[in-house]
Structure 1
Amino acid sequence: MSPHTLAFVESPVQLLNVLEWAHARGHTTDRAPDPGGTAPGARPESGITLVVLSPTDPMSRGQLRRMAQLARDEGHEVRWEEARGGAGAPLRTIGGLAGPLRRVERVVMGDPFSRYVQLLLTITKARDLVVVDDGTATMEFVGQLARGERLVRWHRKGGRRGPRDLVLGPVSAVARRRLTPRGERRVEVFSSMPIDETPRGVTVTANRFAWTRDRFGPPSVTTSADLVGTSLVETGVVDADRYVDAVRALARTHGATRYFAHRRESAEKLHRLAVETGLQIVRPELPLELIARRGPIGRTILSFPSTVVHTLPLALAGTEVRVTVCDIDPSWLTAHASPRAQGFLSGVTGTARDVHRLARTAQAG
């Protein structure tokens, strides 16, 4: 029997947000839906298969394994695909998914910028397409769709298109057309991010992290501060030396004791942070929203512009934890940073709700 819904995820956060979407829609099998979280007119449905297009980095894989077990505990089927396990892996993965994709009624995806997902979209005839949050990239995706632009990640925008981009350009164009509502095809964006430009015909549903609050916590709260790491150095946006200086100043000023590493931060950078700042480096086993909700967590959470300045206030609603966001100074940007980087990061900070903002002068310490 073919599943009613196929959900494609490539990161732990995407899988978490599929669980949030399923909870909001009433897709549960062994627990009663949260009365406050079910969307109006939604009915409990079954037949969700989560397809994990596994990445290669160990930290992401470990978090995904643990998130996959949580999904199974909720009654969902999980299909693990070694989608990047060698030269022949993409063909095997796509070939194995082609049949279900042609028959499925709904496709849920965590990353519409993913070349893998875009290829899969060229196969499916599903009438219902759902995009769940992949962090701040969701804001950019919705804006590009509304403006009819090609789909490209914000930190790459403005750069030269490489040979791979040119080869896969037609695939991306087809994916963008598929993600544009037309006729009986419906498109939904399920997001905790602020969305100002809503494409015509696209339904936007708020992700309030009801599943996370229902399943975990409330957390115990410590008197210290915790600092949330970012992969802006690894993506070439922020200079490594400036980043370390900023983390050191924040830790000293606010009495932070722990640094929650982003799953894509390099081991070399994290070692340097531990040596030069004295912070305890924590590599979370689950997305930070779940770690924070389970606790213990600091009374103050310090973060640079990232998804968590939008999601943590929702996950921690009703607690005494304060989320504080620290702007990225333009002088921290590398020469290779996208021309849009500063504006995008400022927008991430400026649109965050229920957070405290630090002036850049306070960060310098």
Structure 2
Amino acid sequence: MSPRTLAFVESPVQLLNVLEWAHHHGLRGPAPEGGPAPEGGELTVVVLSPTDPMTRGQLRRMADLARDEGYRVRWEEARGGTTAPFHTIGGLAGPLRRADRVVMGDPFSRYVQLLLTITRARHLVVVDDGTATMEFVAQLARGERLVRWHRKGSRRGPRDLLFAPVSSSARRRLTPREGRAVEVFSSMPMTETPDGVTVTANDFAWTRARFGPPRITKGADLVGTSLVETGVVDVGHYLEAVRALARAHGATRYFAHRRESTEKLHRLAGETGLEIVRPDLPLELIARRGPIGRTILSFPSTVVHTLPLALVGTGVRVAVCDIDPAWLTETASPRAQGFLSGVTGTAREVHRLAAVGVV
């Protein structure tokens, strides 16, 4: 029987990387009634929908692309009220127990960690959810509890303590042992790899085959981050840095991160004159479709690793601007500066810019 694979995604980038993983391994959608099984196995994508409108919009577009590729997509209103998690988990219990493989985009997600307590799958796969994958692999290698990098060093709240047994169980399940394989499918550099974990390189082959090559404009485009929204970078310093970067490089467009607040973007447009673009798909696909600037400017983020892969051979230059320690908030995790420096320092095929001066 063809292996049955369930993939759980909560963001557009996670779904993009599930499609890249499936393309790499030759998976297809469920076989037609009475037809032959797909060569690499069959895949069903389960969307654990968030409430954020921008994220939901991009997820719906990505879900349409997944269906176009022949995969089954199951949309779950996983956060649609107090009883929604019980209905979602109850409805997924059967498919989870039957699945041979489980793919997840965010091993830090409490939802995903709960689902891992149900599955009997002998093959677990983690696909990229951005730079967080680097931290996940390092924590797994060191046997540490799973905690997002921008929260590391902060005090554990009552909910964290209540959920600790589930998180510990998830970490054990994501540790390879006899009869259970663990794969990480990633475009991120891995400095520490846990024993027994298979790391497969994501080179964005599906994206390059499906879209582009793009039309390239003469100017520069700037990529936004959610470092302000996650409490890492001070908003005033961020706005000044964006203005200085745009002025120095002649950028005219600002591609907003899906988590950036409307209030911040409104201020940014007024204070910098940049055209704010709210992408309807992950930036790797937007850039590959074009038009895109000859230079793409970014602060430390996932795209400094993924865009050079998606745009290989196009002549587009990706440049990354370091985060000045003075921009960090007082409440930023002690790990923040080191982690962000590591994101920049390990990026391949990018041009490094010194932190721009902020008055």
Question: 1:36 matched to which residue of 2?
Answer: none
Q: Aligned partner of 1:133: which letter? A: D
Deviations 1:20-53 (A, max 9, x none): 00000011369xxxxxxxxxxxx93242000000
**Equivalent-residue separation in structure 1 for 2:237 and 2:45 (angstroms):** 40
Partner secondary structure for residue 155 of structure 1: helix
Q: Aligned partner of 1:117: which letter? A: V
CA contact (8 A) 1:251 1:257 kept: yes
Question: 1:246 matched to which residue of 2?
Answer: 241
Matched, 1:25 2:25: yes
CA contact (8 A) 1:22 1:28 kept: yes
Question: 2:271 matched to which residue of 1?
Answer: 276
Question: Match for 1:182 among 166, 171, 177?
Answer: 177
Q: Aligned partner of 1:268: which letter? A: E
CA contact (8 A) 1:25 1:44 kept: no
Matched, 1:330 2:316: no
Matched, 1:234 2:229: yes
CA contact (8 A) 2:29 2:43 kept: no
Question: 1:202 matched to which residue of 2?
Answer: 197
Partner secondary structure for residue 5 of structure 1: strand
Question: 2:34 matched to which residue of 1?
Answer: none
Compute the displacement of 1:359 (Å).
Answer: 1.3
CA contact (8 A) 1:2 1:104 kept: no
Matched, 1:165 2:160: yes
**Equivalent-residue separation in structure 2 for 1:56 and 1:252 (angstroms):** 35
**Equivalent-residue separation in structure 2 for 1:262 and 1:328 (angstroms):** 17
Question: 1:105 matched to which residue of 2?
Answer: 100
Question: 2:44 matched to which residue of 1?
Answer: 49
CA contact (8 A) 1:27 1:46 kept: yes
Partner secondary structure for residue 313 of structure 2: coil
**Equivalent-residue separation in structure 2 for 1:359 and 1:113 (angstroms):** 32
Partner secondary structure for residue 176 of structure 1: helix
**Equivalent-residue separation in structure 2 for 1:316 and 1:255 (angstroms):** 21
TM-score (norm: length of structure 1): 0.95
**Equivalent-residue separation in structure 2 for 1:340 and 1:107 (angstroms):** 30
Deviations 1:254-275 (A, max 9, x none): 0000000000000000000000
Question: 1:33 matched to which residue of 2?
Answer: none
Q: Which moved more, 1:187-196 or 1:1-10?
A: 1-10
Matched, 1:61 2:62: no
CA contact (8 A) 1:151 1:176 kept: yes
Question: 1:215 matched to which residue of 2?
Answer: 210
Matched, 1:258 2:248: no
Q: Aligned partner of 1:251: which letter? A: A
Q: Which moved more, 1:92-101 or 1:2-11?
A: 2-11
Q: Give the unaligned 5+ runs of structure 1.
A: 31-42
Partner secondary structure for residue 217 of structure 2: strand
Partner secondary structure for residue 219 of structure 2: strand
**Equivalent-residue separation in structure 1 for 2:135 and 2:42 (angstroms):** 30
Q: How does 1:303-314 map to 2 (within 5 A)?
A: 303-314=298-309
Question: 1:8 matched to which residue of 2?
Answer: 8
CA contact (8 A) 2:3 2:101 kept: no
Q: Aligned partner of 1:253: which letter? A: A
CA contact (8 A) 1:2 1:100 kept: no
Structure 1 runs, 4 residues or longer, greater than 4 Å off: 362-365
Compute the displacement of 1:244 (Å).
Answer: 0.1
Q: Aligned partner of 1:176: which letter? A: R
Compute the displacement of 1:182 (Å).
Answer: 0.7
CA contact (8 A) 2:8 2:46 kept: yes
Question: 2:33 matched to which residue of 1?
Answer: none
TM-score (norm: length of structure 2): 0.96
Compute the displacement of 1:203 (Å).
Answer: 0.1
Question: 2:349 matched to which residue of 1?
Answer: 354
Partner secondary structure for residue 342 of structure 1: helix
Compute the displacement of 1:2 (Å).
Answer: 10
Question: 2:293 matched to which residue of 1?
Answer: 298
Partner secondary structure for residue 252 of structure 2: strand
Partner secondary structure for residue 150 of structure 2: coil
Compute the displacement of 1:292 (Å).
Answer: 0.1
Compute the displacement of 1:103 (Å).
Answer: 1.1
Question: 1:156 matched to which residue of 2?
Answer: 151
Q: Aligned partner of 2:320: which letter? A: V
Q: Aligned partner of 2:5: which letter? A: T
**Equivalent-residue separation in structure 2 for 1:47 and 1:163 (angstroms):** 40
CA contact (8 A) 1:326 1:363 kept: no
**Equivalent-residue separation in structure 2 for 1:363 and 1:346 (angstroms):** 17
Q: Aligned partner of 2:149: which letter? A: W
Compute the displacement of 1:189 (Å).
Answer: 0.1
Question: Match for 1:120 among 112, 115, 120?
Answer: 115
Question: 2:86 matched to which residue of 1?
Answer: 91
Deviations 1:288-330 (A, max 9, x none): 0000000000000000000000000000000110000000000
Deviations 1:204-225 (A, max 9, x none): 0000000000000000000000
Question: Match for 2:65 among 70, 86, 103?
Answer: 70
